[in-house]
Structure 1
Amino acid sequence: MKGVLLVNLGSPESPTPKDVKPYLDEFLMDKYVIDVPYLLRALLVRGIILRKRPEESAHAYAKIWWDEGSPLVVLSERMQEKVQPLVNVPVALAMRYGSMTIEKGLQELHDKGVTEVLLFPLYPQYAMASTLTILVKAEEIRKKKFPQMTFTDVPAFYNKPDYIKNLADSIQKHLVGFDYDHLLFSYHGIPERHIRKTDVTKSHCKIDGSCCNTPSPAHDFCYRHQCYETTRQVVKLLGLPEDKYSLTFQSRLAGDKWLEPYTDVEIDKMPGKGIKNLAVVTPAFVSDCLETLEEIAMRAKEDFEKNGGGNFLAIPCLNDDDEWCQTVGNWINDWAK
């Protein structure tokens, strides 16, 4: 019997330092997120970051928390509930970090008699800190707990025509009535070394002005290329002129060289360049979360206005949009045939 496991990032149990701290510990101690030797990682995370970050993050989570709980979890659950009636196989939901574990999701499917699982990381672009860590963790659990199961994973869908159409339609819908000067595509940032580590050719990815535009097998696992390609295809579908949009990367950590240009730096400059009405879309996420609701819709908006900007529109993620849920259902049905 076949079944599907949708997997998103995860969330603390509540917006309090007590619950945020173990969540951040699990997240940041993941060797695919902070990819340094264990002892150094433990020193950085447990000796430095977790001394202040839980309280700061808890404050940020508190600003976006809903009565029903974490927005990311609630929106993922709504999506799952809409997708389930569209398919003829069980659909479970799990998170890479936090209490909604991948093991619980696989157990739910196992209890329904599922032996063939479609692993569906809810990330359009491939990255070792998102997609890869889900696949590795799921395989570890399968070997230990569910050896009779087999996995098929959904590849990065950054360039699939129906996803691109869903994203373009969503952007267009939310721009109605908003006279924008500029549309910013803000993607989650990653360290540059992650790009080189996932380069299957070991030589293509130079993170220069040309490698992302030069055909290569490396592109199947290159986050940077996939972000640019998502943007290129959406822009083409929307018919945007070159001076009307740009691409940046957000949420960097200090100490490493991360993908540039940086979202916060670029947004601060925009009012001085005559951009008074700014719309921002965050296509690295399919569900709104801390990085979209607090970092962009609140902090970036405040910075934009403080630097002389006028109107700021944070375009929601696809979330449980009907067209997007239908697309996911179609992909599942194609696999389940």
Structure 2
Amino acid sequence: MPVNSPYAELLDRMPIEQHEIVILGSTTRYWVYGPADAPLTIVIAHGYRGEHHGLEPVIAQMPGIRWIGPDMPGFGESTPLTEVPHSIDGFAKWLTAFIDVLGLNGTAVTLGHSFGTIISSKAIADGLKTPALILINPISTSGLKGPSKFATILTVAFYRLAGRLPDRVGDLLLKRWIVVQFMSSVLAKSRDRELRRWIHDQHHTYFNNFASRDSVVEAFEASVSSDVSTYSDGVTVPTLLVAAELDDITPVQAHRDLVASMTDARLELLMGVGHLIHYEEPELAAAAIHTFLVEQGLFGELPSEANSATQSGVAGNGSESGTESSQQ
């Protein structure tokens, strides 16, 4: 039985439009949230095996911004790429072309989550113009070097097995209920039973929305082939990293090292949270994003309903859901 989103009421207040466009052979579906005359547009690159719904809890906190959330090629309702491979380079070319076609190159802020942080960083390093970059749960070092060694080895073996099996068998393996539940249970750090139930429902609803076994395995290999640090020398725009203390994929020190190596970057570290910041602490993520955008002169005050929600979610430093800030 579907679980109602805690953020449904906020989302219902926002205008939402659905569109599609063909980019590099992919019929790309995308959703536009917020007013057409908003002073700022943010374009999203979602995480691996995710789609546009994943970042809606963060979007809901900031209704005064125009958000554009595409399903990346091969995921959600978008078809696979046919003119470039499902590699970091291919996805980065797609993201740049998508933003170009919408006439937003140079004006829209770029936001990546998880796998999307690698893609957006690569795109910017290769010439995508943006006034600022926001990275949520960034892959700041190789996904093969994460703090949970056993889980990493198991995950790599699983996807490579799925890639070697016959198509139908590999597809069934990837979509097994127990596989999705295990992943969701490992990544969720909240002790709130209702919140965990909703997170699991989100993953069971959307995690298997991929076009084919081949495209999802190709994208997995891309996700472990590089990381944000691979492209950070080419990222000179103001950059915000919203990272998590308990992230199973990237250790905290890797985020600090990345910020120290970048031209203009700051780190907001959320305490007591893991790789699902967008589900577990979207209010804190929105607060960090809002502060960053104001500091960059890109956005003003939040509407009152989002501001009050954000303020109620912020705890002091060192508490379970608090934040730690650092800046290069």
Q: TM-score of the superposition, structure 2-length normalised?
A: 0.29
Higher relative contact order (CA 8 A, sep 6+): 1
Rg larger in structure: 1
Structure-1-length-normalised TM-score: 0.28
